[in-house]
Every structure is written in structure tokens, then in C-alpha cells.
Amino acid sequence: MIRVSQISDTTTWLHRIPLFGNMGHIEVIMNSTVLVLNQNYIPLHLCSVRRAVVLIHRGKAEMVEAGLGLLRSPRHTFPYPSVIRLGQVVKPPLLHPKLTRRQIFIRDKHTCQYCGTETRDLTLDHVTPRYLGGRHAWENLVSACKACNRRKGGHTPEQAHMKLLRPPTPPKKNGYFPFLLIPQIHNHPAWLKFFPLGTETMLPPH
């Protein structure tokens, strides 16, 4: 059993986890997120701390960046992994972003698609309202600020005399797969350097 024996400091996301609590809390830490880089250092995926420790221990991956603190089992002490790199190039899986509020906001760069305001306080708007047959689909969902959502009410943009900045489309399929990891960077700013320049512009505004 690996235990969290020492946490020398805290990070934003660790603040939310009581560090020296019961086994349940340790479970939370072991299930925390580690960034997995491909052998070519391109972000590939996320895994749990538990999985990362196993991969390192089996020689399948190396630690690129340690997190804070140590994990200790009866026979071994492991630095707490934050970023690991696989020993082999793995073909990135074909990933299709799930249709979620968050992914819609990311696609729309956290900008209201009616008035262009950039805000964290967005709502999800069905362009054609559902009761008029509008689908819950990438092509019919946009980010809208609260004021625009109120103004639009249960109408179509035409009825409400509102215009979309651009027609909503599905995100690129596997065009840029680390795209899917972007929401996680928000909780792990130290990971940003592993992502291409400009990624930070896709993060929610502060």
C-alpha cells in the first residue's frame, strides 16, 4: 500500500484535498491526475498517480516532473509524479471531444457568440430552442452570456433579432488532440509549458 508520507507544499488543486486525513483522502490523491507525454514530449493523455507509479516502476515511463511530496510503500519511496513520459511512441488515440458545456465554451473561446463578450459566466444556448425541434448538438449549441441568453429567451436568433458571430460547428476531429486536455491545465498551470504556444489563450479568462 502506498501512502502519502509527506507533502512539502501545496498546489492550487491540492488545497482542495485534506492531505493528512484518512485513507479516503489518500485514495483521492492516488486518483489525482498526472499528465502523460508521448516519447516525443507531446501531451498524450492523463492518468492517475497510481497508474503513473506503476508505469514508472515497470520501466514503461519516466518521471519528467515531480509533484510535491513523496509516496511511500513498505519497500519503496516514490516522488509524487506530476508529468511522466512514455518510453515508446504511442499513436495518439482518435479522440472526439465529448459534447459538454465545458467543451462548447472552449470551442467558443469563452466568448458569448451573440455579443462577443469574453466571460467565465457563460450559459449554454440552444440556437434553435429545443421545443422548436432544435437538437442538442454541436451545430445548435453556443456559449451565451447571461444577458444575451435572457434577451433571446425561448426564441430563435431571427425572432429575437440577434445574430451569431459565426455558425457553430463541431470541433476538429482529432485535429489537435491535446485540445481535450486543456480544461485540466487550468488546475495544473505548470503543465502549460508542455503545450504549444498559444494554448493559454484557450483557457477560461480569470
Query: Is residue 114 close enough to count as binding Zn ion by CB under 5 A?
Result: yes
Nearer to Zn ion, 146 or 193 (CB): 146
Measure the CA–CA gap between 148 and 155, rounded to whole angstroms: 12
Query: C-beta of 102: minimal distance to Zn ion in Å?
Result: 18
Query: Is residue 115 close enough to count as binding Zn ion by CB under 5 A?
Result: yes
The CA-atom distances, in angstroms, between 51 and each of 1, 83, 97, 129, 141 are 14, 12, 23, 43, 36
Q: What is the pattern of x (binds Zn ion, CB under 5 A) and - over residues 43-82?
A: ----------------------------------------
Among 148, 180, 181, 185, binds Zn ion (CB under 5 A): 148
Nearer to Zn ion, 63 or 122 (CB): 122
Query: C-beta of 165: minimal distance to Zn ion in Å?
Result: 10
Query: Is residue 112 close enough to count as binding Zn ion by CB under 5 A?
Result: yes
- Provide long-range contacts, Cβ within 8 A and 24+ apart, for 48-55: 49/80, 49/81, 50/2, 52/81, 52/84, 53/2, 53/78, 53/81, 55/84, 55/86
Q: Which helix (H) or strand (E) holds 201?
A: none
Interface with Zn ion by CB under 5 A: which residues? 112, 114-115, 117, 145, 148
